[in-house]
A and B are shown apart, each in its own frame.
Chain A
Amino acid sequence: MLSKVAERVYWLARYIERVENTARLAKVHSQLMLDLPKSVKLSWYGLVQITSNEDYFALHYDSRSEQNCMKMLLSDRNNPASLISSLWWARENIRTTRDILPREAWIHINELYVMVKNHQEDFATRTKRNELLSKIIRACQAYTGMLEGTMSHNETYRFLKLGMLIERADMTTRLIDEGGLFVAQEHFEKDDESYFDAILWANLLRSINAYFMYRQQYQTEISGQEVLQFLTQDEEFARSISYCLNEMCWFMRKLPNPEPMQNALKSLQQKISAEQKLIIGSNELHNHLDWIQKELSQINRLLYSTWFNPKQVA
């Protein structure tokens, strides 16, 4: 398989996963605004922060309004990290790899792109926005399921999986960070704290469809500590970081020269599992999540040197 083709397929999957996650993020944030009392401050700018878009925002927008934050995150075609840009890139990558993907892949994504493009102004108002975001999430899920069910689980599929999993792990760190940031900035009365925290964490879990899975695992009241554990260390939940790393290891076993990559993934996974006492809202947690994100981009670089831009003669 040509490296370039593998790279395109990998990014295709990353972009689709990013589209879905960005939609989830925007949706849960809107939801949270409704659930928390007016006295609790929750800024839209948090969305800019957790997607690491502060610099771009400062350059192109003035006030940190809902309108601006949503526009930058969802429909700003000049922002390479916006939902519409990710979708455009996903479509471009499918267009140039059509011959190795099921025909429906193109139809699905092209339709989704056209639909989003024609309804961009819906992102501006809350009710319409949520409806459109739900549609986008559902379309992404249908697309992923379609590939799972119709594709040979071959090299192409393995690179799709790798892209999806690394993007998913990355987004999970960002979500936890969002929760932590929120807890850190609040100055509640001692009694209220746990109450609002529970709302916050429940919403975060819902944003990645993790609420019910969490509930089955932990029957007690929702606690930030346990959510943190669930999303980073759980071995069975599909969006926990540990799970994603394990899966990546598994999916690359049939690719050429996987050992160095697998070792890097295993060692990262072990370090994450070993982490015991991080306090929600603490700087340590934020740094820990930052560290995971950096490790993930290290993994991404390793993917390049191993498969996408090999320097060694086979």
Chain B
Amino acid sequence: MALDYSTLKTLRKNHPAWKLLVADHSPLIAGFVHKIFIAPNRRRMGQADLASALEDYLFTLRETEGQDAFPRRAEAYLDEWASQEKGWLRKFYPQGSDEVHYDLMPWVEKALAWLENLVQSPFIGTESRLMTIFDLLHQMVQGTELDARSRIQSLERQKAEIDAQLARVREGHMDMLDDTALKDRFLLINKTARELLGDFREVEYNFRRLDQKTREQIALWEGSKGTLLENFFGERDVIAESDQGKSFNAFWDLLMSPTRQDELSTLLHKVFELGAVKELSPDMRLKRIHYDWLEAGEQTQRTVAKLSGQLRRYLDDQAFLENRRIMQVIQSIESQGVQIKNNLPGNDFMTIDESSPGVWLPMERPLYTFPVKPVIEEIVSLGDGSDIPSDILHAAVFVDRLKLKGIIRNCLQTQDQVTLEQILEAHPLEQGLAELVTYLSLAGDDEKALFDESRNHRVSWTDKRGVTRGAQFCAVIFNR
């Protein structure tokens, strides 16, 4: 793509990386995400942790920048950064968690890399880059040479070079890389290694896009299902067989081989012992960069596997045709629904099968049990005679039974049973003892709730005066 005026104008308006660089708060955002995601090579973080980290970050910034520097709350910033319009953070719910998680979008990494370039490297090694180019060219030419004779020729030439080197060393002449050459190479390694780490986000993003594109094509597919399958899968897997997929898999295989890993470890270790390298006071993280690669690569690997699996499932037998039919029928339902909106049908309209056979054993219902009489074992100690305003006793606390009932009901929507202890963990007492007693009385009224006197639970809360109070109660189990 040519960098002409109109392209650049669109880029500045739409590209998240550029938008990040020109944003009013760009130092805040870049500094924060670098600290949280890039430096420790973190790939995801839960909302609560991220918000509290940002709150800390803002707190220190306000010390120097003044109290009104960043007026909004951490959550508000995160929401904005993850919004469609900004697109710097990816917001998602990981399997098995009800908390929103965040990760960086790949382009943020690009903007940060550019920023890093501004502050880094007093000198840029040029020799090592040239050598790399020669190496790559050699590989490409040799790797595509069909003629056996010229391949042999080129190998022979390499052999001759190596022999000459061997002879020189045997004579006692050893070519040493000087310090400058060493630094030159080390800096290139450092840069490439860190860049590779950043690339994973982009690789993953590319896979996601590929998946989305494939699904779109499938959804719009007009031909028969047979040709559809042939087109998208045949014998291959769209995602694993893409250029991106093949390159990534080759990288992964290389990295996963134990000999390669050992080799990398040994080499890195030796390199870090070199005087010239020490002089550069290198980033020690580089020493274990391959573990970081493994970690980041594994996540990408998982994404690829997940996407491939999902895509297959999407194309699975009925799903494809059924989805299409469903969309049609729902369209009709919607248009009819709008027509009758001022004349809604009363009573029951449809039926649906329950998700399991109903087995209601009469003997499973709890028999009548005598209500538990609380035994108060507390020793009442005499007060110190100080004045206690008696209206506290009269100002009865109002506890909203309906609200508590709602809490119990909500807890039972995700599980068959819930103990009062678990409920209190998720919804700490706000009104202290009065609230706890209300819970117990709700349990008493509830036929399906059980009291287990063999177990005790404790709960503590802080009252309005800031005193921590506690209570002990026998275990209560609510049932759906």
Partners in one complex: no
